[in-house]
Amino acid sequence: MLLRPNIVPSSSKTKILRYASSYTQFINGDWTSAAADVIEVENPSTHEILAHVPKGTPGDAELALSAAKEAQVSWEAKAACERGQVLKNLANLMAEKKDFLAKTLSDEQAKVLPLAKVEVDASIEYLNYYAGFARIYEGEIIQSDDPMEQIYLHRIPLGVSVGICPWNFPLFVMMRKITPALLTGCTVVVKVSEYTPISSFEIAKLFNDAGVPNGVINVVTGEGDSIGQALVESDVPAIISMTGSTAVGQKIMKAASSNLTKVNLELGGKAPVVVMDDCDIDLAVEATWASRVIYSGQVCNCAERVYVQNSIADEFIDKLVKKMASTKVGMPETEGADMCGLINPTQLEKVAGMVERAKQSGAEVCTGGSINQSMPGYHYEPTVIVNAKQSDEIVQKEVFGPVLPVLQFNDLDEAFALANDSEYGLTSSIFTQNAATVHRAMKEFKFGETYINRNHFEAIQGFHAGLRKSGIGGTDGKHGLYEYLGTRAIYWKN
């Protein structure tokens, strides 16, 4: 039986309304909405109601898409350097408000304040990074078989883009959706999570001062089954970029298929960590711990399962258990806190249920394994599990919480076989001092990203992409930019 959290009834939640008492959708450079109903945005750590946002409707989706479609022609006609300057302007305005934005993220997400500050800084850096591509991305000239002919490959913007953002890194992922799209000449409708919309609407307040023309960026929120469904079923978007669960990604693919709309999907993960007997054990423990407790384990690309070589298993597990047990859990503003609670009671019950089922299947909890009710919020104890089977749910399905199952292996062949035995293929990592082992990992891991001797967190100049049920396409770097560009071939004969 699950130990249920002390869920605060909606009727008794304190309505603080720290931000705008009621936001509306940001469409065509103004604040408007066809929605009559609102959603209460809760602070998951205190249960305070922070703001009201629209419960977006298909009518809101139609308004936003129409505005983006109308703005598309004039936006793509601008020089890339002019579009890049708008990104720089927005970055500068965000930098002026970064403490406020970090506090906003912390409030609406139950995220420790230092991590919220990192997210804001990374979002600003993302804008400046892509602004620098304005004079760099290029087409090609291909040699023709005819000496009197030239073949040109022109890079052209795809058109209206729809971006659908998750709740775990709402500001950074919003920048991922709008930044490469804007630079390449695409207009955007971004649908932000109804759980964490405040920071995104606060960014929208900066668009006009940043020089964003009306209709070029439109920010809406609401439930996926209503406004989200209308956005992805429309024939207006040329590309739909979504970050979220695999199940929702599959629904989006199905909806987009009727219009053959391009999709770019970053979905779930079940990242393996392989720990070899020649590694720096302390480094492996520290990096694995950091990769699991960041934002309370609610990160799709971070460590979800560990495979450690038999000969060092006892030492590694002992150190990992002690490290997880020492995790400082607190409120977002708690000095030195490593993690806070989960986003909502649904996520808490999901994590608790998966651990309970693992125990019923014979797995052993070494530390944690329970809901923590010592403070407000939706807290689950940092947990290490051993003696799980490879086929167990806790090893095969994404937990999205501070839980690590640890399994053992004999040799490298077995390690790769176990690590690759997953429907997901987002990220992976290995800890070893052997160059030959590293080269094998680069070839044999079946994942979009592999980290060697460090934790799971990507760089903006790389390419963040998943295989199998972890996604289609990718983001970041020059290859992420090209996701928003089409290629047109021109044959010019003199």
Burial class (CB in 10 A: 0-12, 13-18, 19+), 228: buried
Burial class (CB in 10 A: 0-12, 13-18, 19+), 474: buried
Give the Cα separation of 114 and 313 in Å (integer).
33
Q: What is the DSSP letter of 157?
A: E
Which amino acid appears at position 473 of this protein?
A: G
For the record, the structure tokens of 218 come out as: 């439109």
For the record, the structure tokens of 200 come out as: 């995104």
Angle between helices 80-96 and 113-131 (to 10 degrees): 160
Concatenated DSSP letters of 10-76: GGGS-B---S-SB--EEETTEEE-S---EEEEE-TTT--EEEEEE---HHHHHHHHHHHHHHHHHHH
Task: Indicate which residues carry an active-site annotation.
Answer: 266
The strands making up 140-143's β-sheet, listed across from edge to edge, are 140-143, 149-157, 485-493
The strands making up 383-386's β-sheet, listed across from edge to edge, are 364-367, 383-386, 403-409, 303-309, 271-275, 427-431, 449-452
Q: Could you tell me how far CA 320 lies from the centroid of its own chain?
A: 26
- CB contact set of 158 (below 8 Å; sequence gap of 6+): 184, 186, 238, 239, 262, 484, 485, 486
Pairing of strands 474-475, 464-465: antiparallel
